[in-house]
Amino acid sequence: MVDLRIVRPEDDAMLEQWRFVHNTIIPTHLLTLDDVRDRSKRHHLEVAYLGEVLVGCSTVRPPAEDAPAATVIARVLADHRRQGIGEALYLRGLARARELDAEAIETVVLSSNEDGLLFALKHGFVETERYVLPGETIPWIDLRLP
């Protein structure tokens, strides 16, 4: 993937692009720019571009003392899937989680995101839980690498 560029958001414009990808792929849990600003302080966020075109984003939630697993999430806009972008985002996220000394690696997928679920299963993740958040109707799926 010659022109793929993955970077941390440097300003509100880039955080807004991260938000756009998130909200497009997860329409049941829309975030505001303030939500994303807050997440960028707690999590490792990245935005992916193919040339100058926005194609995806990722999140790595670091492990915590009471939850020693890191959560790695790669999101790719539908028109850009099956080109290796998700793989690149996932591998970067996995490396970041390992740098943070995560004892385990998890991910979470909205059940309606069939491509995302297939991607996680293909990469060895195993489903651990399904649940519906208050006010939502579509289940989330937690998965973990064995």
∠ at Cα 89 (34, 46), nearest 5°? 25
pLDDT band at 1 (very low <50, low <70, confident <90, very high): low
- Say if domain 4-105 classifies as CATH 1.10.275.10: no
% of the chain with per-residue pLDDT over 70: 99
% of the chain with per-residue pLDDT over 90: 93
69-76 vs 104-110, strand pairing mode: parallel
pLDDT band at 94 (very low <50, low <70, confident <90, very high): very high
Q: What is the pLDDT of residues 31-48, one digit of tens each?
A: 999 999 999 999 999 999
pLDDT band at 2 (very low <50, low <70, confident <90, very high): low
Structure tokens belonging to residue 30? 């829309």
User: Distance between CA 131 and CA 146 in Å, rounded?
Assistant: 20
Q: What is the mean pLDDT of residues 108-115?
A: 94
Q: What is the mean pLDDT of residues 100-115?
A: 95
pLDDT at 145: 96
Average pLDDT of every residue of the chain:
95
User: Distance between CA 66 and CA 45 in Å, rounded?
Assistant: 22
Domain range list for the chain: 4-105
Q: What is the pLDDT of residues 64-89, one digit of tens each?
A: 888 899 999 999 999 999 999 999 99
- What amino acid occupies position 65? E
pLDDT at 140: 96
